[in-house]
């Protein structure tokens, strides 16, 4: 808002006087709040600070002690500098006592070698200051309008941070009070560099006020929160001390973010959104970028030089016949994601946790190279199963991988295991499922989209399905019981709640329709595989998985 002493000296009206900095050059970056003409030495008590004093020196004393006191008093009230016209009192050079005092207090002492119209100087500089103030007020008004619109619209953090970056042209980061990055806008800079070692850098920046500038770090920081509950910090990276307008932007953005958090209290947390963004990138890209690795590290989950394990937690909400409505699943997945994150914290492990689809919650557990993966997974699974608000869920894990580039594979494996795990699988406290547990069903899940598997199912079962559709019989279900009990007709009949005579008649009709002998081991195996593949395909369709 205010020009520096150097800015004022560069103005034509001053340049005409032949300005020369006689002392206090290190203070040329002082801000000039006003220009004041004063000939008397006893002027300091009338100033408020930030004034550039113009004088001809005609009323200033020649006594060294008085000159030293003159500069000392100006420095004490915060004057920005002194300009002396070398025409009337001193014609060549200023007294050494005056220069030494100016150097000692860091106050610029400037001489003009030619007579200068001070009234023109005051009009020019003060007019410039007023114009800057008006421009700053207009800019502040635009900031208020922009962020009021964002607040009323309930704008998400990404939108708010984009407006901050646009308004200030500075990188901006939203972090938790534990220094985990929730969102950011790099404002055209390199994101990996912006987030590099973020937590350690952030922990070193502490301010006593709600909004303040940390000179050493070059950070403008404001606290984010509402109703006495602070939950984050908004950080603008500014190499220079920020103007007032940037402070207004930071504080209005913090207010918009606080309102968003209040409005979205029933929805997903900002932490889960940040975790989902990283998990989605790991699933999408075979080789994660440096930005993704930095974002994960900024969330306190290191991916380099760690043992990584993908985890999928799928609530038991659906059957092949009656899938749960999406409106009911979404809040349950949110609760399950928060329960999983809490379980990871209680188990003292670092993990990215979020629901990345419509059916399950995903997590990527990050362990030190020497950690016991089995013991950690048992602790996490036990915490999830014991959480009082968690619905019954299947917990599945992928392979343990040693590189961030393989994290997506482990996450994908965990999802396949969760989808392939049968509804009757037991979930003991601390139990979880791996690839080796799902066996043939897991293989069929992996191949479910293969046209050859679809054709095989059609060849094996289409005739039976057509018979059921035409007559209302339940031959496919009878065959399913028969295969599930390994060909034991009595056990299959009991499971189907059907008399043995009626069940045997159903088996005879199945053989007649399909033209095979169920007693033949290869025939029963082929039909059983086709039924498992059919179940997997129908389960994927009902769950919306592709």
**pLDDT at site 327:** 58
**pLDDT at site 320:** 42
Helices (H) and strands (E) in the chain, counts: 20, 14
Can you tell me the mean pLDDT for 522-540?
A: 84
Given a cut of 80, whether residue 479 has pLDDT beyond it is: yes
Please give the order of strands across the beta sheet that includes 109-112. Answer: 19-23, 109-112, 81-85, 51-55, 34-37
**pLDDT at site 317:** 65
**Of 329 and 203, more confident:** 203
Distance CA 113, CA 65 (A): 25
Cβ(361)–Cβ(353) under 8 Å?
A: yes
User: Which of 230, 250, 237 lies closest to 161 in space, CA to CA?
Assistant: 250
Percent of the chain with pLDDT over 90: 55
Distance CA 46, CA 423 (A): 85
Buried b (16+ CB within 10 A) or exposed e, 229-255: eebbbbbbbbeeebbebbbbbbbbbbb
Distance CA 360, CA 203 (A): 34
Q: For the chain, what is the mean pLDDT?
A: 87
* pLDDT tier for residue 196 given thresholds of 50, 70 and 90: very high
Given a cut of 60, whether residue 545 has pLDDT beyond it is: no
Distance CA 342, CA 460 (A): 47
Backbone angle region of 428, left / alpha / beta, with phi > 0 → left and psi within -120 to 50 → alpha: beta
**pLDDT at site 324:** 53
Write down all domains in the chain, each with its CATH number in brackets.
5-125 (3.40.1390.20), 153-263 (3.30.450.30), 272-446 (3.30.70), 451-543 (no CATH)
What SS3 class is residue 484? helix
Distance CA 467, CA 458 (A): 13
Distance CA 374, CA 430 (A): 10
Q: What kind and span of H or E run contains 29? A: none
**pLDDT at site 309:** 96
Cβ(121)–Cβ(54) under 8 Å?
A: yes
Say whether pTM exceeds 0.75.
no
Residue 130 burial by CB count (10 A; 0-12/13-18/19+): exposed, middle or buried?
exposed
**pLDDT at site 267:** 61
Distance CA 53, CA 388 (A): 72
Cβ(484)–Cβ(495) under 8 Å?
A: yes
Distance CA 161, CA 379 (A): 38
pLDDT, tens only, 312-347: 998 876 544 444 555 567 788 888 898 899 999 998
Given a cut of 90, whether residue 224 has pLDDT beyond it is: yes
Distance CA 120, CA 127 (A): 10
**pLDDT at site 321:** 41
Cβ(41)–Cβ(61) under 8 Å?
A: yes
Given a cut of 70, whether residue 133 has pLDDT beyond it is: yes
pLDDT, tens only, 385-431: 887 555 788 899 999 999 999 999 999 889 888 887 754 454 554 58
Q: Three-state SS across 412-443?
A: HHHHHHHHHCCCCCCCCCCCCECHHHHHHHHH
Cβ(249)–Cβ(167) under 8 Å?
A: yes
How many other C-beta atoms can be found within 10 angstroms of the C-beta atom of residue 191? 18
- Contact partners, residue 474, CB within 8 Å, separation at least 6: 468, 506
* pLDDT tier for residue 208 given thresholds of 50, 70 and 90: confident
DSSP 3-state percent helix, strand, coil across the chain (nearest 5): 50, 15, 35
The least confident of 129-143, 164-178, 333-347, 373-387 is 129-143
How many other C-beta atoms can be found within 10 angstroms of the C-beta atom of residue 102? 28
- Contact partners, residue 352, CB within 8 Å, separation at least 6: 275, 278, 279, 296, 299, 301, 363, 364, 366
Token pair listed for 369: 């190279």
Percent of the chain with pLDDT over 70: 93
**pLDDT at site 542:** 55
| Residues paired with 181 in a beta bridge | 175
Please give the order of strands across the beta sheet that includes 307-315. Answer: 350-354, 361-367, 307-315, 393-401
Residue 122 burial by CB count (10 A; 0-12/13-18/19+): exposed, middle or buried?
middle
């Amino acid at each position: 808002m205010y020009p520096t002493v150097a800015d004022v000296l560069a103005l034509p009206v001053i340049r005409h006087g032949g300005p020369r900095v006689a002392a206090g050059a290190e203070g040329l970056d002082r801000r000039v709040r006003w220009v004041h003409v004063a000939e008397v030495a006893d002027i300091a008590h009338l100033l408020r600070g930030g004034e550039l004093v113009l004088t001809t020196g005609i009323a200033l004393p020649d006594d060294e002690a008085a000159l030293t006191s003159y500069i000392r008093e100006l420095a004490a009230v915060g004057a920005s500098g002194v300009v002396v016209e070398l025409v009337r009192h001193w014609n060549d050079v200023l007294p050494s006592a005056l220069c030494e005092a100016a150097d000692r207090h860091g106050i610029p002492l400037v001489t003009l070698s030619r007579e200068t119209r001070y009234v023109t100087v005051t009009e020019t500089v003060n007019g410039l200051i007023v114009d800057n103030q008006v421009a700053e007020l207009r800019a502040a008004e635009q900031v208020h309008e922009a962020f009021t619109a964002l607040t009323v619209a309930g704008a998400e953090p990404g939108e708010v941070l984009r407006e901050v970056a646009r308004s200030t042209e500075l990188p901006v980061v939203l972090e938790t009070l534990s220094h985990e990055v929730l969102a950011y806008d790099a404002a055209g800079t390199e994101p990996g560099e912006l987030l590099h070692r973020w937590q350690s850098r952030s922990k070193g920046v502490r301010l006593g006020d709600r909004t303040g500038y940390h000179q050493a770090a070059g950070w403008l920081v404001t606290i984010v929160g509402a109703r006495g509950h602070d939950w984050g910090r908004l950080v603008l990276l500014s190499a220079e001390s920020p103007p007032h307008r940037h402070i207004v932007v930071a504080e209005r953005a913090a207010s918009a973010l606080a309102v968003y958090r209040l409005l979205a209290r029933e929805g997903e947390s900002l932490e889960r959104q940040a975790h989902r963004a990283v998990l989605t990138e790991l699933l999408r890209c075979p080789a994660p970028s440096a930005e993704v690795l930095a974002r994960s590290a900024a969330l306190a989950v290191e991916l380099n030089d760690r043992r990584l394990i993908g985890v999928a937690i799928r609530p038991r909400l659906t059957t092949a016949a009656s899938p749960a409505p999406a409106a009911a699943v979404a809040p349950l997945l949110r609760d399950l994601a928060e329960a999983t994150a809490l379980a990871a914290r209680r188990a003292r492990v670092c993990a990215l946790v979020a629901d990345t689809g419509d059916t399950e919650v995903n997590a990527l557990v990050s362990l030190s190279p020497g950690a016991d993966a089995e013991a950690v997974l048992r602790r996490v699974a036990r915490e999830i199963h014991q959480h009082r608000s968690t619905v019954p869920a299947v917990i599945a894990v992928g392979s343990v991988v040693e590189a961030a580039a393989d994290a997506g594979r482990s996450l994908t494996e965990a999802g396949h295991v969760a989808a392939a795990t049968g509804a009757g699988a037991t979930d003991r406290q601390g139990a979880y499922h791996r690839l080796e547990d799902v066996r043939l069903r897991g293989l069929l899940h992996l191949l479910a989209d293969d046209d050859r598997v679809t054709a095989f199912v059609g060849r094996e079962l289409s005739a039976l399905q057509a018979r059921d559709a035409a007559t209302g019989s339940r031959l496919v279900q009878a065959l399913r019981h028969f295969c599930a009990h390994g060909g034991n007709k009595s056990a299959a009949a009991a499971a189907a709640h059907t008399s043995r005579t009626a069940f045997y008649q159903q088996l005879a009709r199945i053989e007649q329709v399909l033209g095979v002998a169920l007693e033949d081991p290869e025939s029963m195996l082929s039909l059983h595989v086709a039924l498992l593949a059919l179940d997997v395909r129908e389960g994927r369709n009902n769950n919306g998985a592709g």
